[in-house]
Amino acid sequence: MKTYIQEKIEVFQQKNLNRARLLINCPDQPGIVAKVSKFLYDHDANIIESSQYSADPEGGEFFIRIEFELPNLKEKATQLEEDFLPIAEAFQMDWKFTYVSEMKKVAIFVSKELHCLLELLWEWQSGDLIADISVVISNHETARDIVEPLGIPYYCIPANKEIRQQAEQEQLMLLEEYNVDVIVLARYMQILTPNFVEAHKNRIINIHHSFLPAFIGANPYKQAHDRGVKLIGATSHYVTNDLDEGPIIEQDISRVDHRDDVEDMKKIGQSVERSVLARAIKWHLQDRIIVHGNKTIVF
């Protein structure tokens, strides 16, 4: 018998068999939208959604995300991409086509605090997070009894600074084995090495329990409490080799006051963390994010 999530995914895939997305960024100049639109029209595609942004019309960067329908897309995809190459070269584009019915494979990394993992699993089970959660990797056994009953493989790989390279080698092998597209650090309390980050550039999403760059590192709620803040927040960002300083995807806040102790702030903050991380992942899965330098454009 199929599970609820299997049925939801099959319906989603069937509905979107002929739907694709095109993401572009390039130097801004006249004619980009006209050329791309005509290209899609000439290939019998129907544009469903189009969003664009120009950082500076005079010599700046141009960004666009187009979602479109194309009959018999699967058979035409390779030729479509080949035919687009001359346009991409003429306008000096960074570009990619993605195909909506192809589920992105997600790996979730987690330590002992499980609130973000639980939120993602709930969103996935309810059909609101459309993805293939291929594997959960942790440096503790804490979440095994939650994850494995859902049919998701769970691996416990101890990790600390003394054995970090050995642990990451095992992790990288698993990511390759499961052909993972995106890695989610759902409160995975370990620092990743430059080699690991470079191997998955702009494909590792982290949640930080404060407003970056404020309160970087450990115990941010204690730092916030000691500072007497009136707002606490959470930041989801892509991981780079600069700790907690990667391109920001999403942020949110909640009010606190002098009556809230550190534990109160932590509980309020965890609620914000869950929603911020879930939104960031959905936007990534929906190909709504273009990374430019250390910033993101989110359509």
Active site residues: 244
In angstroms, the CA 168 to CA 179 distance is 16
Q: CA 276, 197, 244 angle in degrees (round to 5)?
A: 45
How far, CA to CA in Å, does 98 sit from each of 3, 19, 80, 105, 172? 27, 9, 12, 14, 24
Alpha-carbon torsion (292, 236, 187, 182), positive or negative: negative
Six-digit token string for 241? 């080799």
Q: How far apart are CA 197 and CA 193, in angstroms?
A: 6
As given in the structure block, the two tokens for residue 92 are 């000096």
Residues 6+ apart with CB under 8 A from 63: 24, 25, 52, 53, 54, 55, 290, 292, 297, 299
DSSP 228: T
Q: Where are the beta strands (DSSP E) in the chain?
A: 19-27, 46-54, 61-69, 94-99, 105-110, 132-138, 154-156, 182-185, 204-208, 231-238, 248-255, 289-292, 295-298
Residues in CB range of 89: below 8 A, 6 or more apart: none
CA distances from 274 to 35, 140, 176, 204, 222 (A): 41, 20, 27, 17, 19
Strands annotated E in 15-79 = 19-27, 46-54, 61-69
Report phi then psi at 253, rounded to 5.
Answer: -140, 165
